[in-house]
């Protein structure tokens, strides 16, 4: 599951880096897909013959590494994690004194 979560975070990262809020990201219901991976925010999708609902604040991964797949993540939670990673990355490092 970490690889799927990482894929979801990498999809959202450019929006978060540009300063978009989770609400702004979700409002546009963006999605992305290719033969390997498909992600979308909100709406519905048919996966393995079943119609699945995706909440407006949820990011769904519906294809992973070329296989049908379905899991959802909270956009707000992923955005918080990304903002924390950015803050940690940009924080000055404490030098070891000994």
Distance, C-alpha 91 to centroid of its chain: 23
Q: Per-domain residue ranges for the chain?
A: 2-86
Residue 2: its pLDDT value, please?
67
Q: What is the largest CA-CA distance in the chain?
A: 61
The answer to whether residue 98 scores a pLDDT higher than 90 is: no
pTM of the model: 0.84
| Order of strands, sheet of 50-64, starting from the edge strand that comes earlier in the sequence | 31-33, 38-47, 50-64, 67-74
In tens, the pLDDT along 11-37 reads 999 999 999 999 999 998 778 888 899
The answer to whether residue 54 scores a pLDDT higher than 90 is: yes
* Mean pLDDT, the chain, whole residue set: 90
Q: How far apart, in whole angstroms, are the C-alpha atoms of residue 61 and residue 4?
A: 8
């Amino acid at each position: 599951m970490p690889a799927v979560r990482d894929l979801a975070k990498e999809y959202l990262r450019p929006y978060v880096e540009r300063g978009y809020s989770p609400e702004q990201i979700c409002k546009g219901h963006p999605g992305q897909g290719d033969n390997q991976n498909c992600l979308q925010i909100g709406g519905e999708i048919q996966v393995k013959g079943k119609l699945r609902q995706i909440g407006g604040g949820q990011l769904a991964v519906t294809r992973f590494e070329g296989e049908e797949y379905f899991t959802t993540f909270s956009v707000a939670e992923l955005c918080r994690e990304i903002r924390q990673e950015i803050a940690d990355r940009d924080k000055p490092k404490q030098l070891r004194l000994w």
